[in-house]
Amino acid sequence: MKVRKKVNRLVAVLAITIFAMPATLSKATAVPGKAYGTCVELRSKYANGVAKTSALAKKNKARFNLSLYRANVALDTNKNGIACDKKDLDNPLGGHAQEDFKMPNVLCMTLQEAQDEIQDHGVFYSRSKDASGRGRGQWNDSNWIVIKQSPAPGRTISEGSALLSAVKIGESTRGVCK
């Protein structure tokens, strides 16, 4: 009697498993698309980007996949409905920049914002100095504002190669910042 009960239970469990399977499968197909870190990565798989509508995809030879687009919406920097179309690769000033190792324009940003922006372009470490020549340390990056940058925007940078000259907020920016 005991054995029979066990078998019945086993059959019940199997039945539940089988019935549950289609649900599991459909859940798998509804999983949101993979989020790529950069457009370089995304474009290695989808050469012309991922569009949110089929019309946009057709027009731009991009791949139409709404859930994939949604997962990578941050990479659609010009917000034209295609993640990582060609225009998204040219993003000298905005956030979510490509890690292209190009110096962004960081004039008049706080040191903190400027460093974040440079990191956004793929370079972790940038140097800074007191533009007044007094050699003060920039202990709190948020209190300093960049009035001179090296190199110029668009130039290639590497770790430590960017130099930001800054003054304390409230000091003269020598006409650089309004």
What is the contact surface with Ca ion in residues (CB under 5 A)?
Answer: 76, 78, 80, 82, 85, 88
The span from the CA of 103 to the CA of 125, in Å, is 12
Residue 77: C-alpha distances to residues 73, 97, 124, 130 (Å): 8, 8, 21, 33
Q: In what side-by-side order are the strands of the sheet with 50-51? A: 63-64, 50-51, 82-83
Locate tokens 């989020």: which residue?
35
Please give the span between the terminal C-alpha atoms of the chain, in angstroms, as a whole number: 89
Q: Which residue is nearest to Ca ion (CB)?
A: 76
Q: Three-state SS for 127?
A: strand
| Residue closer to Ca ion (CB basis): 49 or 104 | 49
Q: How near is the Cβ of 63 to Ca ion at its closest, in Å?
A: 13
| Residue closer to Ca ion (CB basis): 43 or 121 | 43
Q: How near is the Cβ of 75 to Ca ion at its closest, in Å?
A: 8
Q: How near is the Cβ of 101 to Ca ion at its closest, in Å?
A: 21
Q: How near is the Cβ of 35 to Ca ion at its closest, in Å?
A: 16
| Residue closer to Ca ion (CB basis): 67 or 80 | 80
Helix (H), strand (E) counts: the chain: 6, 6
| Residue closer to Ca ion (CB basis): 14 or 55 | 55
